């Protein structure tokens, strides 16, 4: 698709230049200035993080609140065959009643931030109708976090839509732009005194790919053109809400939590594989970020259309990082942008079907994203691990990758592990557990996993010490500590 090259490469040259500067700066100084540092203990370096670094966890309303019956996901779950393990979200972690109990646990674990999302369908159960009690409950939750010394980060849209919105076409309908703006402004008017870190949208490309291309999430569509419509409306909705939030709150920090993946060519010698990997990287990682930074919607999402409101509409970049895909060119897969994706067979894997464990990828993404010249928050990083065997070394290796980026001058401000508690994992139901805290959903019983204790040691020390690594994952000490 040669028509892609000119605009996407133009955007990239500016970013790549800044990435190069970060790398040159890192190689020119032996020690970083006033950021995290290295201190030698027992012949191994302790990796210290910047003083005001945020350590926390991320969640989303539908995955933890329970009984969100008024949204499109609830309706979808009730359809036979939609959830792989046959479950429905049901009460999930019951945060609508008992979030504060888990906030206590987060605070005891040394976490000083928590990312949660608001459920639009609770706040606005019908078009034009606000539920003051629901807003009151969110007030209570946010105040509860602040009372525990936990800084909230609030996401406005994390995959679920009120039924009334879904019925009028959801994100395909351009009306969603003013509707989302109204919702955002109501939230900031009501809750803005309790929070200044905002994510308008969570993982827009994941939402589009699963809902409109694979069709495994609501609305269950297989239609790239309809997905493109959603992309454009999401850019517009984000841009408009960005300005509204800033009008209402001078010190707001507003962004999007972007799921960013590494796409590496299966065969680096193959020009076709390199091209296919680059194309996926552009479509999945870069196009949306390009639109909300330079305001331009490029092919295949639009024809170099400029949306002035979208220009420079990110105050920071929210990075959700999970894994990498190896990419081989495949002429038979035009609908997948001529790409066949698979996990690197020579690597460590997480649970079947969830791909490779690749901490280097987080470092690479952070360096790449630093090219946008904005602060970065790792708004999610996590692993499905039902036995908690891999999670401790995963946390250590990904925190170390973050430290490495900070050492090189990348302005990473916080690390939100996905997730605080086990919760409803969308089309996988309860078959994939991501929590630091084990939840037995029937009696609503909690049990700290070992990885929660490890994460607490890092958060409380604001560092990765040799003792921590020796205790929790000695097998990777040589990889992460000098
Ligand atoms: O559970 C999801 C979350 O809702 C969005 N990011 C990825 C997580 C794990 O799949």
Q: For position 87, what pLDDT does the model report? A: 98
User: What band does 331 get if pLDDT is binned at 50, 70 and 90?
Assistant: very high
Q: What are phi and psi of 473, to 5 degrees?
A: -155, 65
3-state helix vs strand vs coil in the chain, percent to 5: 45, 20, 35
pLDDT at 20 over 80: no
Q: What percent of the chain stands above pLDDT 70? A: 91
The active-site residue, picked from 203, 356, 408, 425, is 203
What is the Å distance from ligand 1's center to 111 Cα?
Answer: 20
The model's confidence at residue 8, banded by pLDDT at 50, 70 and 90, is very low
- Residue 314: predicted pLDDT: 98
Asked whether residue 465 is assigned to any structural domain, the reply reads: yes
Q: Give a yes or no: residue 276 inside a domain.
A: yes
152, 197 contact by CB (below 8 A): yes
Residue 29 CA to ligand 1 center (angstroms) comes to 37
Whether 380 sits among the annotated catalytic residues: the reply is yes
The CATH code of the domain that includes 318 is: 3.20.20.80
Cβ atoms 283, 228 nearer than 8 A: no
What is the model's pLDDT at position 16? 53
* DSSP per residue, 91-153: TTT-HHHHHHHHHHHHHHTT--EEEEE--HHHH-SBTTB--HHHHHHHHHHHHHHHHTT-EEE
For 428, other C-beta atoms within 10 Å of its C-beta total: 17
Contact 319, 379 (CB under 8 A): yes
Task: List, for residues 152-199, the tens digit of each pLDDT value.
Answer: 999 999 999 999 999 999 999 999 999 999 999 999 999 999 999 999
In a domain, 5, yes or no: no
Cα 425 to ligand 1 centre (Å) = 7
Burial code (b: 16+ CB inside 10 Å, e: under 16) for 91-110 equals ebbbbbeebbebbebbbebb
Does residue 203 line the site of ligand 1, with CB under 6 A? Answer: yes
Tracing tokens 């490890």 back to the chain, one arrives at 454
Per residue in 397-444, pLDDT (tens digit) is: 999 999 999 999 999 999 999 999 999 999 999 999 999 999 999 999
C-beta separation of 452 from 437 below 8 A: yes
Q: 480: Cβ–Cβ under 8 A, 6 or more apart, which residues?
A: 47, 396, 397, 400, 464, 469
Q: Is residue 300 part of a domain?
A: no
In the chain, how many domains are there?
A: 1
pTM for this model (two decimals):
0.93
Rounded Cα gap, residues 202 and 236, in angstroms: 15
- Is 293 a member of any domain? no
Nearest-angstrom CA–CA distance, 433 and 423 = 7
Task: Kindly report, residue by residue over 62-111, the tens digit of the pLDDT.
Answer: 999 999 999 999 999 999 999 999 999 999 999 999 999 999 999 999 99
* Euclidean distance between CA atoms 328 and 30, whole angstroms: 39
For ligand 1, say whether the CB of 217 is within 6 Å of any of its atoms. Answer: no
Q: How confident is the model at residue 372 (pLDDT cuts 50, 70, 90)?
A: very high
Q: Is the C-beta atom of 368 inside 6 A of ligand 1?
A: no
pLDDT at 41: 54
**97 within domain boundaries:** yes
65 included as an active-site residue = no
Mean pLDDT of 262-267: 98
**The ligand 1 atom nearest the CA atom of 428:** 10
Closest residue by Cα to atom 4, ligand 1, is 60
* Nearest atom in ligand 1 to 202's CA: 5
Q: Which atom of ligand 1 is nearest to the CA of 380?
A: 6
CA distances from 358 to 282, 364, 381, 383 (A): 20, 10, 11, 11
- Which of ligand 1's atoms lies nearest the C-alpha of 159? 4
Q: Mean pLDDT across the chain, nearest whole number?
A: 93
**Does the beta carbon of 425 lie inside 6 Å of ligand 1?**
yes
Is residue 134 included in any domain, yes or no?
yes
Q: How confident is the model at residue 335 (pLDDT cuts 50, 70, 90)?
A: confident
Which residue range is the domain that position 232 belongs to? 17-286+314-480
Neighbours of 131 (CB within 10 A): 15
Quote the ligand 1 centre to 39 CA distance (angstroms).
Answer: 35
d(CA 332, CA 329): 9
Predicted confidence (pLDDT) at residue 6 exceeds the cutoff of 50: no
User: Pocket of ligand 1, candidates 155, 426, 427: which has the most ligand atoms within 8 Å of its Cβ, to mutate?
Assistant: 426
Mutate to test the pocket of ligand 1, among 92, 385, 434, 435 (most ligand atoms within 8 A of CB): 434
Ligand 1 centroid from CA 432, angstroms: 10
For residue 4, how far is its CA from the centre of ligand 1 (angstroms)?
29
CB distance 385 to ligand 1 below 6 Å: no
Q: Is residue 212 part of a domain?
A: yes
pLDDT of residue 37: 61
**Segment 285-330, tens digit of pLDDT:** 999 999 999 999 999 999 989 999 999 999 999 999 999 999 999 9
Between β-strands 54-58 and 412-418, what pairing exists: parallel, antiparallel or unpaired? Answer: parallel
CB atoms within 10 A of CB 252: 18
217-249: per-residue pLDDT in tens?
A: 999 999 999 999 999 999 999 999 999 999 999
């Amino acid at each position: 698709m040669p028509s892609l090259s000119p605009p996407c490469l133009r955007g990239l040259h500016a970013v790549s230049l800044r990435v190069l500067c970060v790398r040159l700066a890192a190689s020119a100084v032996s020690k970083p200035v006033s950021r995290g540092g290295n201190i030698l203990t027992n012949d191994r370096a302790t990796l210290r993080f910047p003083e005001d670094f945020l350590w926390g966890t991320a969640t989303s309303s539908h995955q933890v609140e329970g009984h969100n019956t008024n949204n499109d996901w609830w309706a979808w779950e009730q359809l036979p065959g939609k959830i792989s393990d046959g479950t429905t979200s049901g009460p999930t972690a019951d945060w609508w009643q008992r979030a504060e109990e888990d906030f206590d646990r987060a605070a005891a674990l040394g976490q000083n931030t928590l990312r949660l999302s608001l459920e639009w369908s609770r706040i606005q159960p019908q078009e034009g109708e606000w539920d003051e009690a629901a807003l009151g409950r969110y007030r209570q939750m946010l105040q509860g976090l602040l009372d525990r010394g936990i800084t909230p980060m609030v996401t406005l849209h994390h995959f679920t839509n009120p039924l009334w919105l879904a019925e009028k076409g959801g994100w395909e309908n351009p009306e969603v732009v003013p509707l989302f703006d109204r919702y955002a402004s109501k939230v900031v008017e009501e809750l803005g005194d309790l929070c200044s870190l905002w994510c308008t949208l969570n993982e827009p490309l994941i939402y589009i790919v699963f809902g409109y291309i694979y069709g495994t999430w609501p609305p269950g569509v297989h239609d790239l053109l309809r997905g493109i419509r959603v992309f454009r409306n999401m850019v517009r909705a984000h841009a408009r809400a960005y300005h509204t939030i800033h009008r209402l709150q001078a010190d707001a920090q507003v962004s999007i939590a972007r799921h960013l993946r590494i796409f590496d060519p299966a065969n680096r010698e193959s020009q076709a594989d390199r091209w296919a990997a680059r194309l996926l990287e552009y479509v999945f990682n870069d196009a949306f970020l390009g639109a909300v930074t330079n305001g331009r919607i490029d092919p295949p999402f639009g024809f170099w259309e400029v949306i002035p409101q979208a220009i420079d509409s990110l105050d920071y970049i929210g990075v959700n990082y999970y894994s990498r895909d190896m990419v081989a060119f495949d002429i038979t897969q035009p609908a997948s942008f001529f790409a066949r994706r698979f996990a690197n067979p020579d690597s460590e894997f997480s649970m079947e079907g969830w791909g490779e464990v690749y901490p280097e990828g987080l470092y690479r993404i952070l360096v790449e994203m630093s090219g946008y010249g904005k602060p970065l928050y790792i708004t999610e990083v996590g692993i499905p691990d039902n036995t908690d065997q891999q999670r401790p070394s995963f946390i250590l290796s990904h925190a170390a990758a973050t430290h490495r980026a900070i050492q090189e001058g990348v302005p990473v401000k916080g690390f939100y592990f996905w997730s605080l508690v086990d919760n409803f994992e969308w089309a996988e139901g309860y078959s994939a557990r991501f929590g630091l805290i084990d939840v037995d959903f029937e009696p609503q019983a909690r049990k700290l996993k070992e990885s929660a204790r490890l994460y607490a040691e890092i958060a409380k020390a604001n560092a990765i010490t040799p003792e921590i690594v020796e205790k929790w994952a000695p097998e990777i000490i040589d990889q992460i500590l000098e």
